[in-house]
Structure 1
């Protein structure tokens, strides 16, 4: 890790067309720090957003490692399920914010 915050750039289509940032996540001292806004009338849309993020993360793993996209997605899904069903995990999980 670094002492300097390393920020991602906004997606090109958001810069070109405008939009609203709905989530920002960072790793700080090994834990996830999250800022988000409700953004949607129906929480169902968050489910669609989260699965899209998982698919994009799997693609990145496939591009940058020896792992296939399918294997990466399966590992992401396993992580989601373990976090969801861990009876010892407090509400909010390992997030800082």
Structure 2
């Protein structure tokens, strides 16, 4: 899909309300391009452990979105997310090449 000048459209999300009120810095931007995930990130935390917490919080929020928008429960959605994580850890489909920004 392209814009009026044939520039591809990017459907960007709005920042969360607290970010608009208080500021902050973006730590992760993920997009789907031709069916594949494209991302860029900023290390942001002194301890990588914090990324684990962030990823689990993200998975829980995703599960709640599925519960709100489909007939699936949040618990069922979270279980499917965990299955995907377990499968990807066991047999990575793409080791990835994120572009780090600091």
Does TM-score exceed 0.5, indicating one fold?
A: yes
Alignment match, 1:70: 75
Give the structure 2 partner of residue 49 of structure 1.
Answer: 54
Secondary structure of the corresponding residue to residue 27 of structure 1: strand
> Unaligned regions of 5+ residues in structure 1, if any?
none
Q: Note if 1:12 corresponds to 2:17.
A: yes
Query: Among residues 30, 37, 53, which one is paired with 1:32 in the alignment?
Result: 37
The correspondence for 2:95, drawn from 84, 91, 96, is: 91
Structure 2 unaligned regions, length at least 5? 3-8
**RMSD across aligned positions (CA):** 1.6
Q: 1:90 to 1:24 in 2, by over 3 A?
A: closer
Larger CA Rg, structure 1 vs 2: 2
Tell me the CA shift for residue 91 of structure 1.
2.1
What's the TM-score, normalizing by structure 1?
Answer: 0.89
Q: Deviations over 1:6-57 (max 9, x none)?
A: 0000000011011110000000000000010000000000000000000000
- Aligned equivalents of 2:37, 2:26: Cα separation in 1: 18
Runs ≥4 residues deviating over 4 A = none
Contact 1:32 1:96 in 2 (8 A): no
Question: What TM-score comes out, normalization by structure 2 length?
Answer: 0.85
How many positions carry a matched residue from both structures?
93
